[in-house]
Amino acid sequence: MKIHRSIAFWFDVLLVIFICWAWRDSYRYGSGVMVPNWSCSNFWGGVHVSHAGTGTGQWSAQRERVARASALLFQRPYFLRGQGKQLPPGYRWSYESPSSYEWASYFYRYYTPDMWVLFIPHWLIILTIVILWLGLLVWRGQRIKRSRMRDEE
């Protein structure tokens, strides 16, 4: 069987194209969905999943232009938890950084310990999909080869 006739092949091609588009788009626009205490956002080269602690919130969705684009194309994955430190005098809520990790770690120092964020960069999502996809194609090829060998016997 030819690989280009496989549904798995075309599904994964379309999935990788979609994630590449989301990766590119995330440097220009921030998109997100917020539910009480949780949010999932796509900006600065990755997917951010965060928990806002014990506060209350409303359901909402947004898409807005990102104020500044990160300088780094390949961000690192991270998990940060609030440290609950006191705000210093003259604290500014705007902080410029070339990486999403540096930016988030600056703010999460002052958030309560029940708040956290998980950042998964798009390059890591694509790499995971491609590895799983290639593994599936190799496994499928071996399975087809074994069935043909059995048919010949």
The pLDDT, as a whole number, for residue 141 is 83
The C-alpha atoms of residue 37 and residue 93 are separated, in whole angstroms, by 21
The C-alpha atoms of residue 67 and residue 64 are separated, in whole angstroms, by 9
pLDDT, tens digit (0-9, with 9 covering 90-100), for 23-48: 988 888 889 998 888 889 998 889 99
The pLDDT, as a whole number, for residue 54 is 60
DSSP 93: S
In terms of average pLDDT, the best of 18-22, 29-33, 44-48, 136-140 is 18-22
Percentage of the chain with pLDDT > 90?
Answer: 26
Residue of 6 and 147 predicted with greater confidence = 147
Q: What is the mean pLDDT of the chain?
A: 83
The beta strands (E) that lie in the chain are given as 29-35, 38-43, 46-52, 60-65, 78-81, 115-121
Q: 64 with 95: CB under 8 angstroms? A: no
Give 21: exposed, middle or buried? Use CB within 10 Å, 0-12, 13-18, 19+: exposed
- End-to-end CA separation in angstroms for the chain: 20
pLDDT, tens digit (0-9, with 9 covering 90-100), for 104-132: 887 788 888 889 999 999 999 999 999 99
